Chain A
Amino acid sequence: MFLKSLKISNFRKFGTENNKIEFVDASSYQEQKKGREINIAPTTTLIVGKNNCGKTTIVNGLEKLLNNQEFKANDFNFSYLKKLLVEYERNQSIIETPFLQFRIGIGIEDNSNDLISNIIPFMILEDVDRSELEILIKVELDDQEIFKRDVKLLIDKYSGIERFDKFLQLINTSQFNTNYYNAGGEVVTSNFSINKLIELRAIKANNIENEKSLSRAFSKIIEYRYKALFEEEGMNLDSQINLINEELTRLISNKHTKDINQSLEGIESREKLQVLLRADLTFQKLMSNLIKYEYVERDINIPENQFGLGYTKLMMIIADLIDYMEKYPEDSFNSKVNLISIEEPETFMHPQMQELFIKNINDTIGSLLKSKNKNVNSQLIITTHSSHILNSKIHSGNTFNNINYITIENNFTHIVNLHDDIIIPKSQSYDKQKRENDLKFLKKHIKYKVSELFFSDAIIFVEGVTEETLLKYYIDKDEVLNKYYISIFNIDGAHGLVYHELIKLLKVPTLLITDLDIKRSETEKETFKQISNLTDRVTTNETIKKYNSNYEKLDSLPNQLEIDNMYIAYQTEVEGYFATSFEEALILTNYKNVLLNSVLIKVKPKIYREIIMTDKRFQKIKENSYKLQKKLAKSKSDFANELLYKLIIQEEVVNTPSMPRYIESGIIWLTKKLVKEN
């Protein structure tokens, strides 16, 4: 049995849609069990996302359920509560009362020894041959009648913010019960409780309390082992401690107790007052001070407190895992779903260590299992915002599967279940080999881009170094945009396309800046023909073709294309001409700009002079934009750097060249998206 999915409704930031976390499925899990080498990467479920988007909420919600903790008003999604209250205000009769819901999908493996007694109450006959079962947990009001009456009173009595506050208070004081339902919506009354089915060991982010945390962690393990595994030795140890106590007491009595009592006699008679001093060493006391944790590094013992926090953190997690494995029952079957969750392990770890984290945990579990004959079915869940851990999961697992990417949309947590099949969809038109290659490319290429994609607020795709350089400068200068983490991603169009499905999944607002790439004949190229009309013109740009319904003609192309969270920008008409590249559009937009002209002179002095000739009319620049960009083709990076240099050292801001209109529009779109979202 294993946890297949968890769908959380109305809890904290969760709404009622896009709220399903998926866990590693049975097949990969079983393969893993068969394999000789243990590689936990594919069997680890990763929950990634930026801060404050609801990552920890998932494990917290489960913990609350499992520990039978009470749910309070602030466990409810406030948007949901507000919506309910508005509904109550509008209607006389109250139909829906507030509830939280956890829908748990349990996977069942064939030929497994696992006892299913805990899930049988939820099974109907047709489930028997299935590999999946659903358990619905609803946290609902104990008494709807009382609640309804109180809501009516509250609406009559209060208004505005106060009304909502009182509503929250009412929820806080109302009794909620946890009820269980089967997939058919029937109440399961047998005395089931979810903690009979699921056990969760949560390793928290802040588990380092003081310098001795590690020593304490290990002494706990040793104490347990003594009690559970080495009973006889434990007894011996006990009697030894007793001997020490007796010896010490004797010594103390001889040397001190008598003297003290003699002194006391002077004050009060012996019958009334005397003291007895004795040694009181116990197993627990001994244990708590017995273990000194030292790290052996190149034959030098380094004490715990001198040791990097990162290592301490890793060791704490490993100590927890050892403890977990030690206590795991030694049966050949399981009757529970066992979960281990590690919350943000990256804290205090340097990037290299983060990268190796999964491998380290892998090795630990591998060696722990080797020495034990336990049928461990635990599923590992790692919550993280480390791009390194994400990276190592993708690469050591060689798949995007089992990654839950969490983001916020319209104030609700939005879960995206990544999967190779969604990122690079299987389709008839897609050549199988090409698909494999694309997937391979994406996995390799993403290595350096993971943090940009997964953790930024917005992404800008560009197809050239000039755009990349200039956009960075412009965004840095922008008072609104510079408050966000915006990644600029330079990749040429055809390869960029591979990313698009992933981008759509991640929901990050993305501006794709591409080029119109107007197809010119050889003669047109040679004569540097300026294009002022798109009639009968076609594009060679793959991105535009793809999103313009596979239509290469440019006559009816709109000014931009918007698909989901993507905005595709390309050159539009400037000063009567259609530019084919960013550089050309920049030149056309700023043909009169002094700074730009000075850069052109600097980079291409000969050609510049040739074009502008003696009358020095900027008009000429405009009329020869295509020629200029052609000539610049090989010195784009010089052009970009020179431009950037001039921009930085210039004093008069008025001289700054403007971005071409198509990019400006794109930036405005992006700004709106970002501001709205936050």
Chain B
Amino acid sequence: MSLSIISPSNREKEMQSLISIYNSIENSESIIFNSGAGAGKTYSLIESLKYVIRNYGRSLKKHNQQIICITYTNVATKEVKERLGNSDIVLVSTIHERIWGLIKQYQKELVEIHKEKLKEEISILQKNIITNKEFEKYQELDDAKKEKFKRIMFENKELFYQNYNVRAADLKMAFQPFLEDFPEILKNVSNFRKIVNTIYKLERNLVCLENINLNKKEYKFVDYTSNYNNDQLHNMKISHDTLLEYGQRIIEKYDTLKQIVIDKYPFVFIDEYQDTNEKIVSIMSSLDNYAKKIGHKLFIGYFGDTAQNIYDDGVGSKINDIHIGLKPINKEFNRRSTKEVISVINQIRNDNIKQVSIYNDCGGGSIKFYKGAQENVRDFINKYVHEWNISSANKLHCLVLTNKVVAEYSGFKNIYEAFKETGKYKGINYNQLNTELLNNDLSKLGEVPKLLFSIIKLHNNILNNKTPVLEILSKKSLSDKLNIEDLRKLINLLKQNKGKTLGEYITSISAYYTSVNNEIYEKIMDLTFGYKITSCEIFKNFLLEKLFNDITDENIDYANEIIQKLLDIEMDEYELWYKFIIDKQEQNINYHTYHGTKGREFENVIIIMENAFGKTRDYFSFFFKNLSDPSLLQGAEKDLFEKVKNLLYVSCSRAIKNLRVFYIDEISNFESGIENIFGQIYSYNCEDRSSI
């Protein structure tokens, strides 16, 4: 066995980096702990947490104080909790949960922030109405006519929404009788919709603002809903991004709140800081400064690696500009990979962190760069399935560039293809699809993928006998008036929902929904769907509305066709997608995108690579081309270079033992760049193999 022996001197050295952290904890001196991939960053984080518990646990408990630990994903939260054991003075959670936990009890102040936000939104909408070209026809009306138009539209709100997704002619027909005085405004239906929508939205926000000022009961609280990705400001509901914004605003505005947070949580640990939102870093920075100002103790520890910043909204190396005065602590050991892998990833990052393996027995790895062709990818993978004895106990993980390929290879190509054709994810929105359809972090799934996820989850849960009943009831309150026979009836009913395709399954669900009078069944479905699923049509319309928001007349048939496609896909395919999302795939070969492997490690890795990435044609090729002298790059190009480097670093550093890169484009222009990192370039084609 390799990667098992650690010499005492290495152990001692590793301890030193921990001791530096401990010292900073003692001195309430905020740190930024940098370590490359596989350095055992999570280990250092856990040990630091344990150190605080050991030395401050009693006192924290006595003063009713807690330690905050923020992780990047729910998966990581679970891992930290497991490794930390039973300790309730540490609050481990993702950032959104924590920020909401911090601010939610300050409703009076939150409502103030909310008012500010509403006012800003209102002024943007008002400005749009006045200046935006799309609102031209409305702008041309005189004030009296504007008012009249608004009045008519408010009176016919229902009619407007009923006709939201119909053909332009139908819409015109529906509104003609009401808008005879406004012949111009109906000419362009798309703009008409925009005008009316904006008017409605503006009105809703104004009403909301007024209600807040009137001190109405339902307007005294702001709520955060993790289920939806869009704000509903007028309903006092905010989503992810706005939550962070409110968090930042409220903390910056109220010094007392700063002090409360500092005194209640004197230790804050942030994992994967590089991908943490800037707003969080500025919240932390203002807390840190305020603590120093009032002379209270506060320790903030950022754990991460700038070279692994792969998300655009992550703070990356800017952290040092936003949070000034952090003490850097570096760890240069690698606990994951063989020395062959380590030497390649060091070569990629090419900065002040040069990792060495902590193990004495760190050899035995193998890493090779192949050039080949698209059509040989499967063959190449098969070659290594044999060569590396891939089995369920020794899986092979393939990193591919596009989600399309992941979807195809993982068995849910049709789902992916259908989504790709939707208005929401088409064209410039294509990148959204990657994060919103194939994300292991459920909170990042898009609205429709999240709905599908909930449906498949219910389907999957019902089939699995080990599912906790509460998970199916989804809300504790649903169990309140239940006896055993009610429960048996309910579960039986749920088990009767069947369907080969999604459409059939939904039809089955809605058939029982309308025919069987079972209140709890209905409530479960209401919670799953978010609306009353009385027919499959309702589901279709929902998809249509969400996936083809700005549908034009000509496209309505096409849109319906795509929706039908989604409904005709078999449940088995959705199951595969579901297993992929929850990372419980059963196949021996698992496919991931480069991004999807953050924080993971695999024995065997094959990376399929090409020039392009997403919309950028010249992506990896750009990196290899400029590798010899990146200092020549500036501005956007410099940023791009960094981005590619980080992605390459993250992907290659997943491998523990075996790593292959298979490049499917022509490389003659940048061979030297590749050789610089991977050494010799091998070429692969099928004939080679058949001759073996």
Residues A124 and B58 in contact, CB atoms below 8 Å apart: no
Residues A114 and B483 in contact, CB atoms below 8 Å apart: yes
A116 to B87, CA, bound (A): 31
A143 to B479, CA, bound (A): 33
Which residues in B have their C-beta under 8 angstroms from that of A300? none
Which residues in B have their C-beta under 8 angstroms from that of A108? 484
- A112 interfacial by beta-carbon distance below 8 Å: yes
- B86 interfacial by beta-carbon distance below 8 Å: yes
Stretch from A144-152, A241-249, A406-414, A599-607 at the B interface: A144-152
Question: Nearest-CB distance from A250 to chain B (Å)?
Answer: 54
Residues A125 and B485 in contact, CB atoms below 8 Å apart: no
Considering only CB atoms and an 8 Å cut-off, how many residues of chain B contact the other chain?
A: 33
Stretch from B104-112, B204-212, B459-467 at the A interface: B459-467
- A501 interfacial by beta-carbon distance below 8 Å: no
Which residues in B have their C-beta under 8 angstroms from that of A117? 479-482
A182 to B468, CA, bound (A): 9
A175 to B87, CA, bound (A): 11
A143 to B484, CA, bound (A): 38
- B150 interfacial by beta-carbon distance below 8 Å: no
The size class of the interface chain A forms with chain B is 35 or more
Residues A128 and B469 in contact, CB atoms below 8 Å apart: yes
Which one of B57, B482, B483, B488 lies within 8 Å of A143 (CB-CB)? B57
**Complex interface residues of chain A between 128 and 146 (CB less than 8 A to chain B):** 128-129, 140-146
Provide the main secondary structure of the chain A interface: loop
- A184 interfacial by beta-carbon distance below 8 Å: yes
A108 to B468, CA, bound (A): 17
Which residues in B have their C-beta under 8 angstroms from that of A496? none
Which residues in B have their C-beta under 8 angstroms from that of A555? none
Contact with A along B499-537 (1 / 0, CB 8 A): 000000000000000000000000000000000000000
Residues A115 and B482 in contact, CB atoms below 8 Å apart: yes
Residues A144 and B466 in contact, CB atoms below 8 Å apart: no
Residues A116 and B464 in contact, CB atoms below 8 Å apart: no
Residues B462 and A145 in contact, CB atoms below 8 Å apart: no
Stretch from B115-123, B253-261, B470-478, B664-672 at the A interface: B470-478
Residues A110 and B466 in contact, CB atoms below 8 Å apart: no
- B88 interfacial by beta-carbon distance below 8 Å: yes
Provide the main secondary structure of the chain B interface: helix
- A113 interfacial by beta-carbon distance below 8 Å: yes
Which residues in B have their C-beta under 8 angstroms from that of A141? 86
Residues B482 and A116 in contact, CB atoms below 8 Å apart: yes
Which residues in A have their C-beta under 8 angstroms from that of B480? 115, 117
- B487 interfacial by beta-carbon distance below 8 Å: yes
Which residues in B have their C-beta under 8 angstroms from that of A123? 468-470, 487
- B491 interfacial by beta-carbon distance below 8 Å: yes
Residues A144 and B54 in contact, CB atoms below 8 Å apart: no
A114 to B87, CA, bound (A): 36
Residues B484 and A110 in contact, CB atoms below 8 Å apart: yes
Given known contacts A116-B487, A143-B89, A144-B86, is B479 in contact with A184 (CB within 8 Å)? no
- A522 interfacial by beta-carbon distance below 8 Å: no
- B85 interfacial by beta-carbon distance below 8 Å: yes
In this complex, what residue of A is CB-closest to B463?
A125
Residues A124 and B86 in contact, CB atoms below 8 Å apart: no
Which residues in A have their C-beta under 8 angstroms from that of B468? 121, 123-125, 182, 186
Residues B86 and A116 in contact, CB atoms below 8 Å apart: no
Given known contacts A110-B484, A142-B86, is B479 in contact with A120 (CB within 8 Å)? yes
Residues B469 and A115 in contact, CB atoms below 8 Å apart: no
Which one of A116, A125, A146, A333 lies within 8 Å of B53 (CB-CB)? A146
Which residues in A have their C-beta under 8 angstroms from that of B50? 145
A142 to B90, CA, bound (A): 11
Which residues in A have their C-beta under 8 angstroms from that of B485? 110-112
- Most-contacted residue by chain A among B58, B476, B484 (CB, 10 A): B484
Residues A124 and B482 in contact, CB atoms below 8 Å apart: no
**Complex interface residues of chain B between 292 and 334 (CB less than 8 A to chain A):** none
Given known contacts A115-B481, A115-B482, is B466 in contact with A120 (CB within 8 Å)? no
- Most-contacted residue by chain B among A116, A125, A177 (CB, 10 A): A125
Residues A126 and B466 in contact, CB atoms below 8 Å apart: yes
In this complex, what residue of A is CB-closest to B87?
A143
Residues B488 and A129 in contact, CB atoms below 8 Å apart: yes
A149 to B61, CA, bound (A): 17
A186 to B468, CA, bound (A): 10
Residues A333 and B483 in contact, CB atoms below 8 Å apart: yes
Which residues in A have their C-beta under 8 angstroms from that of B85? 144-145
Contact with B along A159-176 (1 / 0, CB 8 A): 000000000000000010
Question: Nearest-CB distance from B622 to chain A (Å)?
Answer: 49
A231 to B469, CA, bound (A): 43
Which residues in A have their C-beta under 8 angstroms from that of B467? 124-125
Which residues in A have their C-beta under 8 angstroms from that of B472? 125
A129 to B492, CA, bound (A): 10
Which residues in B have their C-beta under 8 angstroms from that of A69? none
Question: Nearest-CB distance from B656 to chain A (Å)?
Answer: 25
A121 to B87, CA, bound (A): 22
A127 to B488, CA, bound (A): 10
Contact with A along B32-62 (1 / 0, CB 8 A): 0000000000000000001001100110010
Contact with B along A19-33 (1 / 0, CB 8 A): 000000000000000
Residues A127 and B57 in contact, CB atoms below 8 Å apart: no
Which residues in B have their C-beta under 8 angstroms from that of A113? 483
Residues B469 and A145 in contact, CB atoms below 8 Å apart: no
Residues B466 and A184 in contact, CB atoms below 8 Å apart: yes
A182 to B53, CA, bound (A): 28
**Complex interface residues of chain A between 533 and 552 (CB less than 8 A to chain B):** none
Residues A128 and B57 in contact, CB atoms below 8 Å apart: no
Given known contacts A108-B484, A114-B484, is B58 in contact with A146 (CB within 8 Å)? yes
Residues B466 and A143 in contact, CB atoms below 8 Å apart: no
A144 to B85, CA, bound (A): 7
Which one of B54, B88, B473 lies within 8 Å of A142 (CB-CB)? B88
Which residues in A have their C-beta under 8 angstroms from that of B484? 108-110, 112, 114, 116
Which residues in A have their C-beta under 8 angstroms from that of B87? 142-145
Question: Nearest-CB distance from B469 to chain A (Å)?
Answer: 4
Which one of A127, A149, A333 lies within 8 Å of B54 (CB-CB)? A149
Given known contacts A149-B54, A190-B470, is B488 in contact with A128 (CB within 8 Å)? yes
Given known contacts A120-B482, A123-B469, is B487 in contact with A128 (CB within 8 Å)? yes
Residues A190 and B476 in contact, CB atoms below 8 Å apart: yes
Residues B53 and A143 in contact, CB atoms below 8 Å apart: yes
Residues B470 and A125 in contact, CB atoms below 8 Å apart: no
Question: Nearest-CB distance from A530 to chain B (Å)?
Answer: 73
In this complex, what residue of B is CB-closest to A142?
B88
Which one of B54, B58, B491 lies within 8 Å of A128 (CB-CB)? B491
Question: Nearest-CB distance from B607 to chain A (Å)?
Answer: 37
A149 to B55, CA, bound (A): 10
A124 to B57, CA, bound (A): 36
Given known contacts A142-B88, A144-B87, A190-B470, is B483 in contact with A125 (CB within 8 Å)? no
A379 to B501, CA, bound (A): 51
Which residues in B have their C-beta under 8 angstroms from that of A124? 465-469
Which residues in A have their C-beta under 8 angstroms from that of B473? 120
Residues A145 and B53 in contact, CB atoms below 8 Å apart: yes
A111 to B487, CA, bound (A): 11
Question: Nearest-CB distance from B484 to chain A (Å)?
Answer: 5
Question: Nearest-CB distance from A122 to chain B (Å)?
Answer: 8
Residues A145 and B57 in contact, CB atoms below 8 Å apart: yes
Which residues in A have their C-beta under 8 angstroms from that of B491? 125, 128
Q: When A and B form their complex, which 7 residue pairs have the shortest distance between CB atoms, in order from nearest?
A: A126-B465, A123-B469, A120-B479, A117-B479, A145-B53, A146-B57, A125-B467
Binding site for B on A (CB under 8 A): 108-117, 120-121, 123-129, 140-146, 149, 175, 177, 179, 182, 184, 186, 190, 333
> Could you name 25 residue pairs across A and B whose Cβ atoms are closer than 8 Å?
A108-B484, A109-B484, A110-B485, A112-B483, A114-B484, A115-B480, A115-B483, A116-B483, A116-B484, A120-B473, A120-B487, A121-B468, A123-B487, A124-B469, A125-B464, A125-B467, A125-B468, A125-B469, A128-B491, A129-B488, A142-B88, A143-B89, A144-B87, A175-B61, A186-B468
List 4 additional A-B contacts (Cβ < 8 Å) besides A116-B487, A127-B469, A143-B53: A108-B484, A114-B484, A120-B469, A125-B464
